[in-house]
C-alpha cells in the first residue's frame, strides 16, 4: 500500500511539473518572422524608442527644407546619450560602478561621458 501511494504521489508531481512547463511555454512570445530582428518582441504601451527616433528624424529632415544637415550623428547621439546617462545615474543613485555595468561600458568611459555632458 505504501508503495502505491508513493507512485501516485510521484505521478501527480510529474503531472504538475509538466503542466507548469506548458503554461510557461504559452506565455513566451516570439518575434514575428519578418527577418528584421531575432530578438523577442517586447510589448509596451508607449511607442518604441526606434519609432520615436525615426519620426523625429523625418520631421527634422522636413524642417530643413532640402538643406543638407551637418554633424547629424553627433547631434542625435548627444540628444540621446545625455538623458540616457542622466536617467541611469538617477536610477543607480549616483553609483558609477553600477551605472557602468547597466550601460555595458567601462567606468572610466562613463566618467568621461558624464564630464562631457556636465553631469558631474
Provide the mean pLDDT of the chain. Answer: 77
Give the start-to-end residue ranges of the domains of the chain. 69-120
The whole-number average pLDDT for the span 87-110 is 97
**pLDDT of res. 107:** 97
Class of CATH domain 69-120: mainly alpha
Percent of the chain with pLDDT over 90: 52
Which residue has better confidence, 31 or 100?
A: 100
Q: What is the rounded distance in angstroms from the CA atom of residue 56 to the CA atom of residue 54?
A: 5
Count other C-beta atoms under 10 Å from residue 100's C-beta.
19
Place of cell 501511494: 5
pLDDT per position as a tens digit, 44-92: 567 888 999 999 999 999 999 889 999 999 999 999 999 999 999 999 9
Q: What is the rounded distance in angstroms from the CA atom of residue 113 to the CA atom of residue 15?
A: 54
Amino acid at each position: 500500500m505504501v508503495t502505491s501511494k508513493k507512485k501516485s504521489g510521484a505521478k501527480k508531481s510529474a503531472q504538475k511539473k509538466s503542466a507548469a512547463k506548458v503554461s510557461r511555454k504559452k506565455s513566451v512570445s516570439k518575434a514575428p518572422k519578418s527577418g528584421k530582428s531575432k530578438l523577442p518582441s517586447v510589448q509596451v504601451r508607449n511607442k518604441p524608442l526606434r519609432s520615436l527616433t525615426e519620426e523625429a528624424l523625418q520631421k527634422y529632415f522636413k524642417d530643413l527644407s532640402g538643406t543638407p544637415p551637418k554633424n547629424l550623428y553627433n547631434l542625435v547621439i548627444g540628444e540621446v546619450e545625455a538623458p540616457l546617462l542622466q536617467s541611469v545615474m538617477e536610477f543607480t543613485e549616483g553609483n558609477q560602478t553600477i551605472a557602468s555595468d547597466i550601460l555595458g561600458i567601462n567606468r572610466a568611459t562613463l566618467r568621461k561621458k558624464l564630464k562631457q555632458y556636465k553631469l558631474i
